[in-house]
């Protein structure tokens, strides 16, 4: 994963998180780590672990999912609660070694 994609994922996560965690800062972000990304049917998907250093609860329910129509404009789709296939096509999840 390129540094620019990783940065875009961080930005998308922080933008969404700021809706409910207004005091959080980018400096408190950890990740994304353990990332995978790919394209299915013209849509890009990414998964990874991401959390805030000062919020232990933010570490649960991953991996987290991002989606992009073009591979550069990423939107944060949310956590999976461990069920990757609830937000990512099963064929792509299987390529990443995730079971459905």
Whether the pLDDT of residue 5 is over 80: the answer is yes
Task: Give the E-state strand segments of 1-100 in sequence order.
Answer: 29-40, 43-52, 64-68, 75-79
Residue (of 67, 37, 36, 64) closest to 50 by Cα position: 64
Q: pLDDT category, 99, cuts 50, 70, 90?
A: confident
CA 85 from chain centre, in angstroms, equals: 14
What is the overall mean pLDDT for the chain?
A: 91
Q: What letter would DSSP give residue 80?
A: -
Q: For a pLDDT cut of 90, what percent of the chain falls above it?
A: 73
Residue 66 has a pLDDT of 98
Cα separation, 4 vs 99, in Å, equals: 28
Q: Is residue 56 very low, low, confident or very high in pLDDT (cuts 50, 70, 90)? A: confident
């Amino acid at each position: 994963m390129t540094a620019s994609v990783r940065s875009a994922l961080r930005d998308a996560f922080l933008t969404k998180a700021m809706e409910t965690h207004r005091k959080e800062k980018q400096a408190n972000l950890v990740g994304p780590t353990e990332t995978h990304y790919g394209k299915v049917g013209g849509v890009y998907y990414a998964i990874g672990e991401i959390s805030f250093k000062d919020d232990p609860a933010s570490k649960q329910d991953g991996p987290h999912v991002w989606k992009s129509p073009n591979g550069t404009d990423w939107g944060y789709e949310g956590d999976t609660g461990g069920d990757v296939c609830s937000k990512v096509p099963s064929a792509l999840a299987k390529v990443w070694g995730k079971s459905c």
